[in-house]
Amino acid sequence: MGFKQAVPDSSLFIRGKNRSLVALLVYVDDIVLASESLEIIQDVKKQLSTSFLLKDLGPLRYFLGLEVARHKKGIAVCQRKYAIELLEDIGFTNAKPVFSPTVPSHKLSKNEGEFLQDSSQYRRIVVQLSQFLDKPTDIHLQAAHRVLRYIKAASGQGLFFPSTSNLHLKAYSDSDWGACVDTRRSVTGFCIFLGDALISWKSKKQPTVSKSSSEAEYRALATTSYEIQWLIYLLAEFGVVHSEAVAIYCDSKSAVAIAENPVFHERTKHIELDCHLIREKLHKGLIRLFHIPSEKQLADPFTKTHCPTSFQHYISKLGLMNLYNPACGGILRDKTR
């Protein structure tokens, strides 16, 4: 049918360009089609139906747990339906809501609390807390329950992708040095925007122990630059040429100095070579590094715990909003479930 498999994502197939461009995304037996032309979409569906038994679900509303809605100002995505079903399944429909998913200044340890006699409920809940799956304790379960209580308060929270946003990337990179009290490994966190829309984020424990906070931040910068490179490749598949250097904002002056100055050999010679690829990205003009104050670091909630007020401040800066709230336009409020 003339489609080309995208190199950055093997599940994505693209044909044509500009106004005739059509994208086909496959997940097992689910397919999403996107194009400016409804006529092109109908033609692709007709061609597919000659070889496969298809069920046309019409305009995209749900996909892999995501609730999608179109608005004259853009596209909204949330997981309210999935969140409500999760709360019902665990029995937390009537739980008291909280407005941050974690207890401020509290770091969990594998040896904290009493081991659970039945860990089945914990195993059904956790994602980030999965590092304690082998022997969860009552303290870990309390932490998981707090996450559920936050989900109840934020079930309608979602992302909005404005139709008028520009197609320029910018990123925020952060780390929490020695965050894991058991392994002393640091946590990398980043968030990447396309214009005003948040499109990529991550919070993950680093594979090795860092000798300093500067090293931990440097590793986080490297991870962020890899994601940026992938996104640039992905944009190119859609015919979007990202010619400007991507700004990465970091709150560590020393990490920025290490990336920009290869002379710091004694401080970096033990770091894996793949981390130093960030210098190559800088030299080629793919990225630019900027220092910002810690209070303006939008990736901070991906690496550290915050009180509800601080957490909500960061959430609003990241562009998350309650898509069912009339104050936000009630984008999804009147949609058929």
Q: What is the pLDDT of residue 336?
A: 38
122-146 pLDDT tens trace: 777 765 467 677 778 888 888 888 9
Dig out the tokens for 331 from the structure: 């984008």
Q: The tokens 């298809």 sit on which residue? A: 54
- Whole-angstrom Cα distance, residue 130 to residue 133? 5
The architecture that CATH gives domain 165-317 is: 2-Layer Sandwich (3.30)
Question: Which residues of the chain are modeled with pLDDT < 50?
Answer: 128, 334-337
Q: Which residues contact 46 (CB under 8 A, 6 or more apart)?
A: none
Domain residue extents for the chain: 4-58, 80-156, 165-317
Confirm if 192 and 227 have CB atoms less than 8 A apart. Answer: yes
Q: What is the predicted pLDDT for the residue at 168?
A: 95
> Which secondary structure element, helix H or strand E, spans residue 224, and what is its range?
helix 213-237
Listed residue (192, 186, 266, 187) closest to 228, CA to CA: 192
Residues 6+ apart with CB under 8 A from 54: 45, 48
Query: Degrees (nearest 5) of the Cα angle 7, 193, 230?
Result: 20
Q: Residue 337: its pLDDT value, please?
A: 37
- Centre a 10 Å sphere on the Cβ of residue 284 and count the other Cβ atoms it contains: 9
What integer pLDDT is reported at residue 266 of this predicted model? 58
CB-based contacts of 156: which residues, under 8 Å, 6+ apart? 78, 80, 322, 323, 324, 325, 332
pLDDT, position 49:
93
Give the separation between CA 181 and CA 20, rounded to whole angstroms.
Answer: 54
Q: What distance separates the 2 farthest-apart alpha carbons in the chain? A: 64
**21: its two tokens:** 């461009």
Amino acid at 312: Q
First-to-final CA distance of the chain: 34
Rounded CA gap, 100 and 36, in Å?
Answer: 39
The torsion defined by the Cα of 124, 126, 132 and 136, in degrees rounded to 10, comes to -50
Bridge partners of 322?
Answer: 157
What is residue 25's predicted lDDT score, i.e. its pLDDT?
95
